[in-house]
Amino acid sequence: MKRPLLLLSAVLALAALSGCDTFESRAKKKPEVLAALDPAAREKLRRGIIEIGNTTDMVYLALGQPDDEYETTSARGKEKTWIFNSYQQDYAGTVQTGYHRMLVYDPATKGYIVYFEPVYNNVYTERIEERIRITFQDGKVTVIEQPKPN
């Protein structure tokens, strides 16, 4: 039982690492944007810091692809909102998911005894929290919203 779990976790870890969206991988996709920035602005984007006035490309370099995008039309004009979420799994307990058949040889009767053992599995719930919401107008950041720390 431990061997398949170990193999599955190794495969999942490898898949997760191969698809990492890092600053360096995003910078390779948009080298012209990075080249046009001064070193201080580059370092802020590398650290994931965005500011009012940043362009959509600069926010993409700093934070990656948004999880959700909304477009709003109002008296002020068209606005685009990018939402970035964080995803967590919370342990919710253990539940019985069935039974496993067991065989034991009984030397007294020279036969096998069949019995069933309960099988338990851990249960996790997914939790999605909005990490940051960025509003653009005319391709520039106009609003940055983040949840207040507890």
User: 20 pLDDT band (50/70/90 cuts)?
Assistant: confident
Cα gap 116→81, rounded to integer Å: 55
Q: How much is the pTM?
A: 0.69
Determine the pLDDT at residue 36.
92
% of the chain residues with pLDDT over 90: 78
b/e map 25-57, b = 16+ CB within 10 Å = ebbeeeeebbeeeeeeebebbeeeebeeebebb
Q: Is the pLDDT of residue 26 over 80?
A: yes
Determine the pLDDT at residue 150.
72
